[in-house]
């Protein structure tokens, strides 16, 4: 699985103008299931995200996790993280099939909650409007093949 994490002071997602998910301090997580991914990868990614020390401590060092600060995560499915850019038009054939992608996206969110991180979600396969205030900015790309 692939994910892009952004440390945020606030983030929200809307579908057809309706607010469906929002968080304050915490993480905005764009997540993509790749072809061949399993529940074990979603679990490993969630565990790593929950423990990742990218929030500032009292000395200003990135030494705290989202759990440590009492933060939350807005998790949004983002199949375009699977983009193949060999040509000028991206291909997405390496993304998991939609039914598998949705299952793993939901499993990742549930695992993150099990790790102690409150989760708000986007809507799988919807045309969403996402807004956020990136704190830092801190943006981190993760791939379970590299964890």
What amino acid positions are annotated as catalytic residues?
Answer: 78-80
Closest to 104 in 3D by CA, of 44, 48, 51, 64: 44
d(CA 105, CA 121): 10
- Do residues 140 and 54 touch, judged by C-beta distance below 8 A? yes
Q: Would the CA dihedral through 131, 137, 4, 21 be positive or negative?
A: negative
């Amino acid at each position: 699985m692939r994910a892009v994490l952004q440390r945020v002071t606030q983030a929200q997602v809307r579908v057809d103008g309706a607010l469906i998910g929002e968080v304050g301090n915490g993480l905005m997580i764009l997540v993509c299931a790749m072809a061949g991914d399993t529940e074990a990868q979603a679990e490993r990614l969630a565990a790593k995200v929950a423990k990742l020390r990218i929030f500032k401590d009292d000395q200003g060092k990135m030494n705290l996790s989202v759990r440590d600060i009492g933060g939350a995560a807005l998790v949004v499915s983002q199949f375009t993280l699977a983009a193949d850019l060999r040509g000028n038009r991206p291909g997405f054939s390496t993304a998991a099939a939609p039914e598998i992608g949705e299952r793993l996206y939901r499993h990742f969110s549930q695992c993150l909650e099990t790790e102690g991180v409150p989760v708000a979600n986007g809507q799988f396969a919807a045309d969403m409007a996402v807004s956020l205030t990136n704190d830092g900015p801190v943006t981190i790309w993760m791939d379970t093949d590299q964890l």
